[in-house]
Amino acid sequence: MPNNLSSKKASKQLGRICIQEADFSVDEQYQKLRTAHPAQNGAICTFVGLVRDFGDKDGVTGMFLEHYPGMTEHSLQLIIDQAAERWRLHDVSIIHRVGELKLSEQIVFVGVSSAHRADAFAACEFIMDYLKADAPFWKKECNEQGSEWVDAKQSDQDRAKKWSK
Amino acid sequence: MKILFFASLRERLNTEEEQWQDLNGALTAGDVLTQLQTRGEPWSSSLNTERLLVSVNQEIASLNTNISLGDELAFFPPVTGG
């Protein structure tokens, strides 16, 4: 079993999950991760996903994000728990925005702190890969012609599956 | 039983949620789906897809998953977050 700091604390689940319409500050999130375990942290890895101008079609001007309240948080906690079983993590933070988002806005934040960079890098990628494959969010891309729901990509399922090899 | 629909499915059915007071003999999530499909359009074509996911009490389930009147079911397309 990994020597996970938080798994030793009875019934205290690792990590913070926030589904919100509001934007977030990467620096604020980073400082929270940094100060939570100041003497033990050796590495913090963060990922931010952004709205870009192409998706299933070119000319994307923004998007609308929908989710399944309750199941989303539950599914993200399961992903954090699986990451914490696999790597030695001190803390995890996931923020996912929903609602209307404009071009270049921030969509998602994943931050992981650990004693070692290898654990932080791997856990951050693992959490993002499973978030894309399993968490109940749906994107609708908007362009000048209107808006269309994004098709799920096999490549996203494949990226998550590679972790089970 | 509460049944929820999300994203493109919610729009095509023009329905977010419905409440069933009676399971009408449905024992599994698949039985519920079959009953919804027999309503005619847009239900039959929108729900007749291999790319339909189902959850029971907010956990991914299969069409063979047993259900009861107090459950929350949801049908939705493959997820596209991140």
- Contact status of B12 with chain A (Cβ, < 8 Å): no
What is the residue range of A46's domain?
Answer: 15-164
The answer to whether residue A5 scores a pLDDT higher than 80 is: no
- Report the gap between the CA of A114 and the closest CA in chain B (Å): 23
Q: Check residue A142 and give its pLDDT.
A: 95
Give the CA angle between residues B59, B63, B64 to the nearest 5°.
Answer: 95
* Domain-embedded: residue A109: yes
3-class secondary structure for B45-81? Answer: HHHCCCCCEEEECCEEECCCCECCCCCEEEEECCCCC
Mean pLDDT for A114-126 is: 98
* Domain-embedded: residue B61: yes
Output the domain CATH number for residue A69. Answer: 3.90.1170.40
* Domain-embedded: residue A6: no
Q: Strand, coil or helix: what is B36? A: helix
B6 vs A contacts (CB less than 8 Å): 66, 68, 136, 138
Mean pLDDT for A40-58 is: 94
The answer to whether residue A155 scores a pLDDT higher than 50 is: yes
Structure tokens belonging to residue B76? 């939705």
The answer to whether residue A57 scores a pLDDT higher than 90 is: no
Say what the ipTM of the complex is: 0.95
In angstroms, rounded to a whole number, what is the distance separating the alpha carbons of residues A163 and A137?
Answer: 21
In angstroms, rounded to a whole number, what is the distance separating the alpha carbons of residues B72 and B3?
Answer: 6
- CB-CB: which of B6, B8, B58 is closest to A74? B58
Q: Check residue A76 and give its pLDDT.
A: 98
- CB-CB: which of A66, A128, A131 is closest to B6? A66
- Report the gap between the CA of B77 and the closest CA in chain A (Å): 8
The answer to whether residue A126 scores a pLDDT higher than 50 is: yes
For A108, nearest residue in chain B (alpha carbons): B82
Output the domain CATH number for residue B38. Answer: 3.10.20.30
Q: Check residue A21 and give its pLDDT.
A: 98
In angstroms, rounded to a whole number, what is the distance separating the alpha carbons of residues A61 and A52?
Answer: 8
CA dist A60 → A82, A107, A134, A140, B77 (Å): 34, 15, 24, 10, 21
Ranges under pLDDT 70 in chain B: none
* Domain-embedded: residue B34: yes
Q: Check residue B49 and give its pLDDT.
A: 81
Q: Check residue A39 and give its pLDDT.
A: 92
- What total number of domains does chain B contain? 1
* Domain-embedded: residue B82: no
B81 vs A contacts (CB less than 8 Å): 65, 67, 96, 108, 131-132, 135-139
For B54, nearest residue in chain A (alpha carbons): A136
* Domain-embedded: residue A7: no
- What total number of domains does chain A contain? 1
- Contact status of A55 with chain B (Cβ, < 8 Å): no
What is the residue range of B45's domain?
Answer: 2-76
A134 vs B contacts (CB less than 8 Å): 60, 79
* Domain-embedded: residue B81: no
* Domain-embedded: residue A157: yes
Q: Check residue A56 and give its pLDDT.
A: 85
In this prediction, residue A59 has a pLDDT band, given cuts at 50, 70 and 90, of: very high
In this prediction, residue A77 has a pLDDT band, given cuts at 50, 70 and 90, of: very high
In angstroms, rounded to a whole number, what is the distance separating the alpha carbons of residues A127 and A121?
Answer: 10
In angstroms, rounded to a whole number, what is the distance separating the alpha carbons of residues A41 and A147?
Answer: 44
Q: Check residue A1 and give its pLDDT.
A: 41
